Structure 1
């Protein structure tokens, strides 16, 4: 454990744990109006519409289970059944809002209400927390046995059961849910969304705050409600946005102090000689030097360059934004059929970034996890590639638009050509819709992997890049 992802309850660790994806051999296969797109996109209008169509399909996979529902995070082929990760659904809310269409707004509100319902009706907790994940509808285990306990039962009542050990809560996942709810509050003016976001912030302050030398907010709790010792740069970056949003929306200055605490931790993770951010700390005293992940380079720029907090000077923000150049150079990959363990069909190639510095040196002779394939060191992580494209466009340097355009072209090509024939709720997905999480099996270096399955999170980040929407700006 390297101070970023926790034990098996983490949404990413679960994906690579063998609990769901590829039980048995892994098999790979190679809506809204255009007005929001015209307002400033880097991608093609048809690709943008198809991405939004996938998010809608992921949300509508189980139509017989009422209006309170979440979106299935991955296509059925991933083997995670009807799992809806809280993080992915928060990203879907933000992407739906970014479309600025009536359908997008309605879907964002529905997903927000589903998170609020889970927050209010958890059978074990009534303290504002959300679990790592829920289930969105009926599904079948790999042995054929029916598992009826979805997010919504057939009688329309909610069930927040804990299949797959969904008993832990990570501060980062909570922060993104709070960011999404606060965005809904800002867009709709509806008080319940702000109240839900505040409850999340209060829980994080109570559970996560630490007075260790490096400060910041700890990782979260496991299923036994035991506090985890790690402190993550990524999580504290998320809190810079969430606490900043709460300060603006509530007018309560205490959130500014909490924002400053999270920001101070992030700044301590900066490596000025290399121009990048470290991943975090295990013990609150020692900074972890390796691996170095992508999202701590891109999300920091998106969060710290906020206009609502003018204490960040122009030179300050652009000094830290060197992390974008580090990610673009040091984590760059090109995947094609000639790469070892590549799942890319012959004649295709994809460029972008990988998950971390460890991904580039993964052992290609050893499976990523039990029942999983061997990794491709050059597998493209499309969610992270979208992070980078959006951050480059946000920075707006001399070459940034051209670099972002190349990255988005690669993502859109993947949407066209990868993940064909995949389903949600056993229903065919719209043609050429949805971005797979990775071009080939990818070892993150944090104990889990990403695979070529269509993914709500990756598609949502693509839509944010396409609509030039910075979700981390307070």
Structure 2
């Protein structure tokens, strides 16, 4: 990314401008204002330790802008500046909790309190929603306009990511934030986290519930607050996890009814002849048959734990498998390196390698590895634990750890150098998702968090 080029928007950014895909007081109690410090150690950091060091660096990149903070999602080189996606930060909460350490617990609480702060201090709405993303540090945008604030503005409101149009609210992003907050509620016993998660669930029920023939919960709202027509398998899978947790923590059976509604939609997306889940619907009537994404195969298993549908993992393992090597067209993998895993969708395997993914972007590598998806496939295989699953999961995790060691050197967050070999890139080479955007070899909070969850065998969608 050089000069005035603007990056391709991520999958979770599109609804801020009305576009969408059919896939898919300044002090907060308990948040603290001091940055956690690490004791000096002469031991060589483990792969997991280096991943946690990246999450800490992404969270601590702007110390001059206060203790109420979220983590920057991508390294500076991605061109998204200090953007902090709600989804990525929800995953960071879950990954920190999976560490079972005092520092991880403290960081999870701080991020959870920041999500609650955003919920309570939106500049426009007071209805329980969170936006797709926020700015967490200063930068100068591509048009030369300054963005001088941190996560919390001088007037106490949160700094919504208007520069890129990250102003909408997706049901899936809300669900993940609710999962993170409800997990914090269960771990800490603090009522504020459960209250925030319930507010999220009630917003989804009000805004997302649909009585269209296929049912379920719709995509969310765009930056103007207009409801979007899509219904996503991925989002409804997320809701199975969220609503199940809310049912257990509140004791209110209404959440079981809502969970069943989301699960019913997901099961309607099942293709029994080939053993996979479709992506969703654009109109509530007709199922989208293509592209077929990876996350609807892995997250469905983690949320439903259904033996009748566990073949989806075999489909993803076989049909979306890729091996990225330096001799591949458009691969950016250095000579002598190779990475195995899965790609984003069936369309990724058919990407036009002669054309850029988007204006100003590189050409795609059909064999680019999507490391976030590779991590949740590894976790799902470990969860299923059929013969051969653990060995396959170990190979995938080894590929991710090798990528953390070798890909994305010299990248920064907030202009600060990262700890050596820390953070997992989102893709081994430029990757076309088939949904109008790409992933690139930039170290990423979301991919790193999913790796840590897979390594810890921590299922975030299990109620």
What TM-score does the superposition give when structure 2 sets the normalisation length? 0.90
Kept in 2: contact 1:6–1:228 (CA 8 A): no
- CA positional deviation for 1:217: 0.2
1:375 aligned to 2:381? Answer: no
- Relative distance call for 1:32 and 1:383 in structure 2 (3 A) is farther
Kept in 2: contact 1:435–1:454 (CA 8 A): yes
Return the alpha-carbon distance in structure 2 between the equivalents of residues 393 and 134 of structure 1: 34
How does 1:163-174 map onto structure 2 within 5 Å? Answer: 163-174=163-174
Aligned to 1:472: 461
Return the alpha-carbon distance in structure 2 between the equivalents of residues 6 and 230 of structure 1: 14
How does 1:10-25 map onto structure 2 within 5 Å? Answer: none
Return the alpha-carbon distance in structure 1 between the equivalents of residues 228 and 155 of structure 2: 37
- Relative distance call for 1:84 and 1:354 in structure 2 (3 A) is same
- CA positional deviation for 1:127: 0.4
Aligned to 2:5: none
Aligned to 1:182: 182
Kept in 2: contact 1:269–1:287 (CA 8 A): yes
Return the alpha-carbon distance in structure 1 between the equivalents of residues 12 and 84 of structure 2: 19
For residue 412 of structure 1, the aligned residue among 401, 413, 421 is: 401
Question: Between Structure 1 and Structure 2, how many residues are aligned?
Answer: 433
Kept in 2: contact 1:149–1:161 (CA 8 A): no
How does 1:287-366 map onto structure 2 within 5 Å? Answer: 287-305=287-305, 317-366=306-355
Aligned to 2:15: 9
Kept in 1: contact 2:355–2:363 (CA 8 A): yes
- CA positional deviation for 1:160: 3.5
Kept in 2: contact 1:151–1:161 (CA 8 A): no
Q: Aligned with 1:445: secondary structure?
A: coil
Tell me the C-alpha RMSD between the 2 structures: 2.0
Return the alpha-carbon distance in structure 2 between the equivalents of residues 100 and 109 of structure 1: 13
Aligned to 1:57: 57
Return the alpha-carbon distance in structure 1 between the equivalents of residues 159 and 133 of structure 2: 12
Return the alpha-carbon distance in structure 1 between the equivalents of residues 249 and 383 of structure 2: 23
Alpha-carbon displacement from aligned partner over 1:305-324 (angstroms, at most 9, x marks no partner): 1xxxxxxxxxxx22211100
Q: Point out where structure 2 has 5 or more consecutive residues left out of the alignment.
A: 1-10, 22-36
Per chain length, whose mean CA-contact separation is higher, i.e. which structure has more relative contact order (CA < 8 Å, sep 6+)? Answer: 1
- CA positional deviation for 1:163: 2.6
Aligned to 2:108: 108
Alpha-carbon displacement from aligned partner over 1:85-108 (angstroms, at most 9, x marks no partner): 000000000000000100000000
- CA positional deviation for 1:152: 2.5
Q: Which moved more, 1:363-372 or 1:449-458?
A: 363-372
Q: Aligned with 1:358: secondary structure?
A: helix
Aligned to 2:32: none
- CA positional deviation for 1:157: 6.5
- CA positional deviation for 1:197: 0.3
Aligned to 1:452: 441
Q: Aligned with 1:433: secondary structure?
A: coil
- CA positional deviation for 1:134: 0.3
Kept in 1: contact 2:128–2:196 (CA 8 A): yes
- CA positional deviation for 1:409: 0.6
Aligned to 1:139: 139
Q: Aligned with 1:266: secondary structure?
A: helix
Q: Which moved more, 1:144-153 or 1:392-401?
A: 144-153
Aligned to 1:152: 152
- CA positional deviation for 1:110: 0.4
Alpha-carbon displacement from aligned partner over 1:303-343 (angstroms, at most 9, x marks no partner): 001xxxxxxxxxxx222111000000000000011000001
Return the alpha-carbon distance in structure 2 between the equivalents of residues 240 and 107 of structure 1: 26
Q: Point out where structure 1 has 5 or more consecutive residues left out of the alignment.
A: 16-30, 34-43, 306-316
Q: Which moved more, 1:156-165 or 1:271-280?
A: 156-165
- CA positional deviation for 1:154: 6.7
Return the alpha-carbon distance in structure 2 between the equivalents of residues 319 and 346 of structure 1: 43
Q: Aligned with 2:186: secondary structure?
A: helix
Return the alpha-carbon distance in structure 2 between the equivalents of residues 363 and 253 of structure 1: 49
For residue 392 of structure 1, the aligned residue among 355, 375, 381 is: 381
Kept in 1: contact 2:16–2:165 (CA 8 A): no
Q: Aligned with 1:350: secondary structure?
A: strand
Kept in 2: contact 1:32–1:49 (CA 8 A): no
Aligned to 2:72: 72
Return the alpha-carbon distance in structure 1 between the equivalents of residues 171 and 155 of structure 2: 32
Alpha-carbon displacement from aligned partner over 1:48-84 (angstroms, at most 9, x marks no partner): 1000110000000001111100000000000000000
Q: Aligned with 1:334: secondary structure?
A: strand
Return the alpha-carbon distance in structure 2 between the equivalents of residues 371 and 108 of structure 1: 37
Kept in 2: contact 1:214–1:284 (CA 8 A): yes
- CA positional deviation for 1:143: 5.7
Return the alpha-carbon distance in structure 2 between the equivalents of residues 472 and 6 of structure 1: 19
Kept in 2: contact 1:10–1:170 (CA 8 A): no
For residue 441 of structure 1, the aligned residue among 423, 426, 430 is: 430
Kept in 2: contact 1:87–1:177 (CA 8 A): yes
Kept in 1: contact 2:410–2:417 (CA 8 A): yes
Alpha-carbon displacement from aligned partner over 1:107-126 (angstroms, at most 9, x marks no partner): 00000011100100111100
What TM-score does the superposition give when structure 1 sets the normalisation length? 0.88
Aligned to 1:422: 411
